Amino acid sequence: MTASGVRGPIPLIVVGGYLGAGKTTLLNHVLANAGQRRITVLVNDFGAINIDAALIKARTDDVINLENGCVCCSIGGRLVDALLAISNRPDPPDFLIIEASGVSDPVRIAQIGLLDRAYRLYGIVVAVDLASITQTLLDPYVGDIARQQIAGATAILLTKTDLIDEQNKAAIVAQLATIAHTAIMLETTNGAVPLELFFDHNVTGQLRAGWPRSMTSPNPKLPVDFCSFLFRTEARFDRKKLKDALRSFSGRLLRAKGLILLDGEAATQELHVAGGRILITQFPGEVVTESVIVLIGLFDNKTKQATLDALVAATSTARHR
């Protein structure tokens, strides 16, 4: 619920990746560490028997099965029906996670989900098996599918890294960087990832000292540059300049969320950035006295400062901190 008591959109996360990349292991780790969050999982498997759904069932009772192939093709209508049924529940979930089949395009699945305004995209997380991805990309039959999955990701999780040496790992990651549209690539072991890839916190809960900060994860191989940080200003943003600024560093940005003031707008606006989409809508709560944006992504000190400078340039002259 929003501050006005109106039900807000359900966060939607799509988990993709080619066959055997570790999607189910990843999802089970997220569910095991979800705390009190109520999560519905929609699983699409390639075949008449949905094995992945059975494996995930051990972690949550709210699993919906969609068998037989690619959700964006043969059963797209069933996906739409499932999404409508979930959003129309009297007590809908806090999050919806769709585990796409290994041969489907997660971007198209996300697009189907966003046909219903009851959902808001939080990200497209794609698992990539480093031990086999080079061979998969060279395959004349499935290489294009794997390439599409990588290109559409807002974050890439590198799995099975223990099966290759450091030199080969570096070469493969460099190859992935030529395909991906995101710089966010995180190495994971046994599905362990920072939960911020899936969940974030209320902006009002971020108004405290200690920013920027690193993400939290039991995985010691996270890049030190993966962090969240805060931008606050008493100035008002120019809508177009703000969107241009956010697009300028979108490759490093996983997600952004904020309450902002715009030139020419009396009401507070709510900002959401995820999956390459920038959404600015009127906030139903009280008018704020300053703009506050939380950004999550891959930023070293130089790129973080460039991001802050870009946001300052998108406002009128005022005090920033």
CA angle 143, 144, 147 (to 5 degrees): 90
Cβ contacts of residue 231 below 8 Å, gap of 6+? 258, 291, 292, 293, 295, 308, 311, 320
Beta bridge partner(s), residue 121 = 12
CATH code matching the domain that covers 10-196, chosen among 3.40.50.720, 3.40.50.300, 3.40.190.10, 3.40.1280.10? 3.40.50.300
How far is CA 215 from each of CA 190, 202, 230, 231, rounded to the nearest angstrom? 18, 16, 14, 17
Place of tokens 């003031």: 261
For 74-100, b where at least 16 C-beta lie within 10 A, e where not — what string? Answer: ebeeebeebbeebbeeeebbebbbbbb
- Hey, which residues does 186 pair with through a beta bridge? 157
Q: Domain residues of the chain, as ranges? A: 10-196, 202-313
DSSP element (H, E) containing 128 = strand 119-129
Give the predicted TM-score (pTM) of the model.
0.79
Q: Write out the chain's pLDDT in tens, 321 residues.
A: 444 455 678 989 999 998 888 888 888 888 888 888 888 888 876 433 334 444 444 444 566 666 544 444 444 577 888 888 888 888 888 899 998 888 888 888 888 877 778 898 888 999 999 999 999 999 988 899 999 999 999 999 999 888 899 999 999 999 999 999 998 888 888 778 777 778 765 444 444 444 455 555 544 455 677 788 889 999 999 999 999 999 998 888 888 888 999 998 889 999 988 877 898 988 887 888 899 998 888 888 899 999 999 999 998 754 444
> Distance from CA of residue 81 to its chain's centroid?
23
**pLDDT attached to residue 203:** 43
In this prediction, residue 210 carries a pLDDT of 41
Q: Which CATH class is domain 202-313?
A: alpha beta
